Structure 1
Amino acid sequence: MVKVAVAGGSGGLGRAITKAVADGGKHQLFVLSREAKTHTIGDHTIASLAVDYSDVSAIAEVLRKNEVQVVISAIGVLFEDTHRAQINLIKGAAEAGTVTRFAPSEFGIDYIKARDNGFPYPLPGLQQYTVSQYKIEAIDLLKTTKMEYTRFMIGFLMDYYGFPAEPVPVIPLAVVLDVENLKAGIPGTGNETVTLTHSETLSKFVAGSLDAPEWPEKSWIVGDTVSWSEALKLAEAARGQRFDVSFDSVESLRRSEITELPGNVARYSVAPKPVLDGILSLWSLGFVEGWFDTTKHVGSDKTQNDLQPDVEVLKLKDFLSRAWST
């Protein structure tokens, strides 16, 4: 048994991870949040530890006092304030003296390898993709500490394609496939592949990794690797209807010109259309270039699927059927 603290563990991806760790019943579990209270997650009541993310020493004291050994960050690192919160959490964990393992908020692609190969790059409406920069800065800081760390890399989140029939643990966006509204904007030829991993799957692997004798620097998680044409067919089968399909060329995507999907219109109040078009175009270019297909980047590494063969992996066909069967 180890004492585990999940930052951002009461909502979003963090909630799924907290539930998976609690379901395992092996470890003492805390949620790190800005105020101390209890959280009901699944069948579990989880205590939270109040932390002030602006105060490194205070973070260290909370972790030290509660003898926390492992910190899993599920902070949504989208903006400067949440980035700074994670940086301070890393510093506080290193200062605490009790924390031996730290998993930063990743759950995407290998941003370091992508950066070294020129991705992401500026696009109209999105001159800098700061999310990538934030994640790399967290890794650079972890390398200066004595804590063991791992980066959980999943490709792209499968949950998007069940919304609104099923909840999504991040901001709901229609990405390539708008399953609700029966429309698709396919990047490239449609033959390019992507690894789609559901939050339930990644959470089980994260929870299981707590029992591993050592952590690899890269923890690859492979949900379901499909081409976008295959994903479209599965979505059409789940809905029982044909989609209105458009194809977005690389040239148009580099101009941030992307098929507008109806499910994204309501998000313009959060991210103005030019900004959201830039983000979606960048992701689509990443799909075409293969950055979101984890099987292309594993190399000689063992995946978490290899290391934890008993973990059940949710496939796209089964997820779509579950979400849209009613």
Structure 2
Amino acid sequence: MGEKILIIGGTGYIGKFVVEASAKSGHPTFALMREASLSDPAKSELVETFKKSGVTFLTGDLNDHESLVKAIKQVDVVISTVGFMQIADQYKIIAAIKEAGNVKRFLPSEFGNDLDRCRAVDPINQNFQLKVQLRRAIEAEGIPYTYIVCNLFAGYALSNFLQLGATAPPRDKIVIPGDGNVKAVFNEEHDIGAYTVKASVDPRTLNKILYIKPPHNIYSFNELVACWEKKIGNTLEKIYVAEDELLKQIEESPMPVNVILSINHCIFVKGDQTYFEIDPAVGVEASQLYPDVKYTTVDEYITQFV
């Protein structure tokens, strides 16, 4: 049957794609759900979808140690996809994994940049540092792990080309952080789910970082805009925001704008997703490891918005 996989945070943004990929892959798939979530009307459609795909619900809560241990004892692999505000709560998962003593692999909630190579500014740096500390805690406890570095979510970055408040890619003018030449990596969410599940049971990814960095998804902001202009047959007015101006905006903006801008700064000015080569001693690249996953390219993805 394959390893049993438990997803914690399965109704969240990336969580639902991981649950779907796990169920599709034929692994016995479990989702940890709070009682309140199971009866939440806002989540009923998703819960129904999970049920139909054969997902088993285990009721439990990060704040209820016993329920957590009980759930973890039933599985081989634990994948956490908890959100931004719950990163530190994952120490409770570490404690439960230690007590359960049966877990073959833990994937903490990362799903962004490689945190050990980040040069971000606050406020996002505070969140990144929490994740770095969590990595060190997992390693110190000797828990077998895989870290998923999926870079940018296409649904988040390409649906509006990171234009604040926009609901579609722009057709007249575009604001670009930095000089637009720094390369970033954009990945479609179903692909991230598929790669995550494959890596969670793969001996080649044990105690390694899985970088999702397919060659056709590495673009600079300028390249992205050029690709879009070609599709819509129109040239956009480009407004470049120099680094000092961007840093000033980060300092002066309220939450969550300052968080978004600080993410943009580390990716599109510092180049935190692409400034280093993958070190084979610590990491592997997903599209090389799993050529059978037919990933969605940036070019294909943005075509839907034309």
TM range, normalised to the smaller chain? Answer: 0.7 to 0.9
Distance 2:200 2:88 in 1: 26
Distance 1:22 1:206 in 2: 13
Question: Aligned pair 1:282/2:262, yes or no?
Answer: yes
Change (3 A) 1:210 1:281: closer
Alignment of 1:141-290 (within 5 A): 141-163=137-159, 174=163, 179-182=168-171, 183-214=173-204, 215-223=206-214, 224-256=217-249, 273-286=253-266, 287-290=268-271
SS of match in other structure, 1:296: coil
Distance 1:133 1:2 in 2: 31
Alignment of 1:1-326 (within 5 A): 1-25=2-26, 27-35=27-35, 37=38, 39-41=48-50, 44-64=53-73, 67-76=74-83, 78-79=84-85, 82-114=86-118, 119-122=119-122, 126=123, 129-163=125-159, 174=163, 179-182=168-171, 183-214=173-204, 215-223=206-214, 224-256=217-249, 273-286=253-266, 287-293=268-274, 296-300=276-280, 301-321=283-303, 323-325=304-306
Q: Percent identity?
A: 22
Runs of 4+ in 1 over 6 A off after TM superposition: 175-178
Change (3 A) 1:157 1:231: same
SS of match in other structure, 2:254: helix
Shift in Å, 1:106: 0.5
Q: Which runs of 5+ in 1 are unaligned?
A: 165-171, 259-271
CA RMSD of aligned residues (A): 2.7
The alignment covers a number of residue pairs equal to 289
Amino acid at match of 1:174: Q
Amino acid at match of 2:113: I
Return the TM-score normalized by structure 1: 0.79
What is aligned with 1:268? none
What is aligned with 2:41? none
Report if the CA contact (8 A) 2:191-2:296 is conserved. yes
Change (3 A) 1:45 1:83: same
Return the TM-score normalized by structure 2: 0.84
Change (3 A) 1:140 1:161: closer
SS of match in other structure, 2:102: coil
Question: CA-to-partner distance for each residue in 1:55-81, whole Å, 9 max, x for gaps?
Answer: 3233112222xx2110000111x22xx
Distance 1:33 1:209 in 2: 23
Report if the CA contact (8 A) 1:39-1:47 is conserved. no
Amino acid at match of 2:265: L
Amino acid at match of 2:32: L
Report if the CA contact (8 A) 2:8-2:79 is conserved. yes
Shift in Å, 1:52: 2.0
Report if the CA contact (8 A) 2:146-2:209 is conserved. yes
What is aligned with 2:43? none
Amino acid at match of 1:8: G
Shift in Å, 1:216: 3.9
